[in-house]
Structure 1
Amino acid sequence: MTPVPDTPAISVAGLTRQYRRTGSPPKTALDGFDLTIPSGEVHGLLGPNGAGKTTLCKILSTVLTPTSGTAHVCGHDVMTETRAVRPLVGIVFGGERGLYPRLTARQNLSYWAALYKLPGKVAKRRVEELLERFGLTDKGSERVETYSRGMKQRVHLARGLVGDPKVVILDEPTTGMDPVAARDFRNLITELRGEGRTVLVTTHDMAEAEAICDRVTLIDSGRKLATEDPRTIGNWITEYERIEASGVDSRVIRALESLAGVVSVQCIRASEVDEQLSTVLIETDGTVGGANASKEVIRLLVDNDITAIRSAPPTLEEVYLHVIGGRGMGVR
């Protein structure tokens, strides 16, 4: 069950999953989906509800079978080598499903250790290690039904690591977490990366994805739209740019707002030297009348002796809203 060196942790090709519905056309959750994640990477899967994220997670963990296409985990086929795949994968679904509320945290983890067929002493040691790692030792003998939502999510995360998996799949893991718990979660991801594990995380939190992911994939209606480093994915939007300029007065702001292709001009802070001057963020969108809007903005600024100018690439959230939100932006 040891993966071959250089074998991707996750490899998906042409993956399609349809749900049959009586009296209605089948619903396609994944539509020819392709994805390769190298070993040791933290990969984010971003998309709206119903995009196919959870379906992909379930297929990779052998809970669902695909309608067509292939999926491999550490070189093992999820369809024909399920017994080899399952020990390699730890999966955590968001929400409160998957725990036995009338059992204690220790009993829940011990149960999952038994399912992974861990020997008695190994299982006991593993359970205690995880309780300590997630700050649950003092509450480990209390029923899960008495836990707060954040504590239950910590038990979920611990459960996903019981089998010491090489691939950890986290489906909306920060649902219900308070800011402190979310910070601890980000620290956990850093630890998992340091341990050489591969992490696939689905999330709606763009700031979280930028902070923890090596790469992100945008998915919508079961199709992959783009895969890129979250810090450079703004380059995939070909006709959208942000320009930040300092020392801009109200007259220049009005002139900027009148330029074709300028989407918005936002005053983000006033000058500490002259309250009549501001630092502004200018958003441009496309080429109008053969002229590049960004170049026209820069020309106007320079003509007005404003030279404190810098490009401010789109954030991951802005890319998500433009691509998923269907504003018609071109994607390379």
Structure 2
Amino acid sequence: MLAIEADALRRTYTSRTGWPKSRRTESEAVRGVTFDVAPGELFGLLGPNGAGKTTTIKMLNTLLLPTSGTARVFGHDVARDPVAVRRRIGYVFGGDRGLYDRLSALDNLRYFAELYGVPARAQKRRITELLDLVGLLGREKEKVEGYSRGMRQRLHIARGLLHRPDVLFLDEPSIGVDPVAARDLRRTVADLAATGTTVLLTTHYMAEADELCDRIAVIAGGRIRALGTPDSLKSLVRERDVLEIEAYGVDEERLDRLRRVPGVRGVAAEDRGALQTVTVQTGRGAAELHGPVLAALQGVRLGRVTSREPSLEDAYIAIVEGADAATVTGTATSAGTHTGTSAGTVGGGAGAVEGTASQGAAV
């Protein structure tokens, strides 16, 4: 039996705008998402902000009803049998919500153990096990208001595991956490998967996903755009080179200029304080493009320029940018015409994208 099954999941939000005559508008956050997760698998769900990650998770853990489609957790339908689903899942989200600051970590866990229905005789032993698992044993009597963000996130994980769930949903657990705390969190998550807990993880940190996940689905625009192992996703950009450029003051106009350079297949920029890192993807061995690329940044102060092999982050950028391009193409077509290109499962070695119809844009 599969741990998680999502079949053509959709979620549409309806709102009303305008006065005095209101107008009903609909926005489709999730548009036919299909995937499954095996028991004990650590499955990653990646995508940009607004892609539909959190909405998908909330449908799977019964916090939102699907507009259409079905989802099951160990055979229990999330819409028809939500109580049975809730008994088998835990949910951990990023941020500071969900804990009582004026209580100690121990009192927090005692309180949530009661809510989860953990038998009184088993609570002390279970709480001690979890405090040891997340590295908080010895500090459990301190008030949570004095905890660092990383300690809070580890306590969130302990809270989500109190009732021994078969499936744990981790929604960006390392957001805002310093590198040392993030490393500790990754170790904790890896230990969970090693003990047989099924984990569905969303994250914006590609290195984290690459290190932890058995398989990854990339979602953009409410659709699954690619699905496979980290290595199979990276194979999509195997025939590319990546140029990393340190720059100061790159604006959107210059990034668009870079995208228009013949032979450039992808451009992304990341702000790191005053410094920006511009990542340019080109065809393999296209050293002759370095000159035109740097010329497109004329007038910008540049730092180090390096060339490297593609990473999972580069594959992710290529997939998401391909999805954006497909969306623009679809918008430009005549009314009533759908331009869904093939997408779905990434073949392991060939780097091809094997299609399931209307699931998104192939890279």
What CA deviation, in whole Å up to 9, does each residue of 1:192-247 have, x standing for no partner? 12111111000000111111111111001211101011122133359x52399xxx
Find the aligned partners of 1:314 and 1:121 in 2 and give their Cα distance. Answer: 53
Find the aligned partners of 1:131 and 1:9 in 2 and give their Cα distance. Answer: 26
Post-superposition offset of 1:262: 6.6
The question of 1:320 aligning with 2:322 is answered no
Superposition pairs of residues 29-44 of structure 1, within 5 angstroms: 29-44=29-44
TM (norm. structure 2) is 0.69
Q: 1:11 aligns with which of 5, 29, 49?
A: 5
User: 1:69 maps to which residue?
Assistant: 69
What CA deviation, in whole Å up to 9, does each residue of 1:133-171 have, x standing for no partner? 222232212221221212111111111111111111100
| Seq. identity, % | 46
User: 2:202 maps to which residue?
Assistant: 202
User: 2:362 maps to which residue?
Assistant: 331
Q: 1:260 to 1:224 in 2, by over 3 A?
A: closer
The question of 1:234 aligning with 2:234 is answered yes
Find the aligned partners of 1:230 and 1:41 in 2 and give their Cα distance. Answer: 14
User: Does the 8 A contact of 2:144 with 2:152 survive in 1?
Assistant: yes
Q: 1:221 to 1:263 in 2, by over 3 A?
A: closer
User: Does the 8 A contact of 2:113 with 2:163 survive in 1?
Assistant: yes
User: 2:339 maps to which residue?
Assistant: none
Post-superposition offset of 1:314: 2.9
Q: Once superposed, what is the RMSD of the aligned Cα atoms?
A: 2.8
Q: Aligned letter for 1:324?
A: V
User: 1:90 maps to which residue?
Assistant: 90
Q: Aligned letter for 1:261?
A: G
The question of 1:20 aligning with 2:14 is answered yes
Q: How many positions carry a matched residue from both structures? A: 275
Post-superposition offset of 1:284: 3.7
Find the aligned partners of 1:318 and 1:296 in 2 and give their Cα distance. Answer: 17
User: 1:290 maps to which residue?
Assistant: none
User: 1:121 maps to which residue?
Assistant: 121
Q: 1:170 to 1:207 in 2, by over 3 A?
A: same
The SS at the match of 2:216 is strand
Q: Aligned letter for 1:130?
A: L
Q: 1:174 to 1:296 in 2, by over 3 A?
A: closer
Post-superposition offset of 1:180: 1.8
Find the aligned partners of 1:88 and 1:78 in 2 and give their Cα distance. Answer: 11
Find the aligned partners of 2:161 and 2:185 in 1 and give their Cα distance. Answer: 14
Q: 1:296 to 1:133 in 2, by over 3 A?
A: closer
Find the aligned partners of 2:285 and 2:48 in 1 and give their Cα distance. Answer: 34
The SS at the match of 1:191 is helix
Superposition pairs of residues 156-175 of structure 1, within 5 angstroms: 156-175=156-175
Find the aligned partners of 1:315 and 1:186 in 2 and give their Cα distance. Answer: 19
Q: 1:124 to 1:320 in 2, by over 3 A?
A: same
User: Does the 8 A contact of 2:118 with 2:162 survive in 1?
Assistant: no
Find the aligned partners of 1:29 and 1:260 in 2 and give their Cα distance. Answer: 34
Superposition pairs of residues 44-63 of structure 1, within 5 angstroms: 44-63=44-63
The SS at the match of 1:25 is strand
The SS at the match of 1:122 is helix
User: Does the 8 A contact of 1:44 with 1:202 survive in 2?
Assistant: yes
Post-superposition offset of 1:172: 0.3
User: Does the 8 A contact of 1:218 with 1:225 survive in 2?
Assistant: yes
Find the aligned partners of 1:201 and 1:220 in 2 and give their Cα distance. Answer: 16
Structure 2: tracts of 5 or more residues without a match: 18-23, 244-260, 267-279, 288-307, 327-360
Post-superposition offset of 1:283: 5.5
The SS at the match of 2:138 is helix
Find the aligned partners of 2:119 and 2:265 in 1 and give their Cα distance. Answer: 63
Structure 1: tracts of 5 or more residues without a match: 1-6, 245-258, 265-281, 286-293, 298-311
The SS at the match of 2:130 is helix
User: 2:150 maps to which residue?
Assistant: 150
Superposition pairs of residues 248-263 of structure 1, within 5 angstroms: 261=263
User: 1:134 maps to which residue?
Assistant: 134
Find the aligned partners of 1:134 and 1:234 in 2 and give their Cα distance. Answer: 31
The SS at the match of 2:132 is helix
Q: 1:317 to 1:119 in 2, by over 3 A?
A: same
Find the aligned partners of 1:15 and 1:62 in 2 and give their Cα distance. Answer: 13
Q: Aligned letter for 2:172?
A: E
User: Does the 8 A contact of 2:237 with 2:314 survive in 1?
Assistant: no
The SS at the match of 1:117 is coil
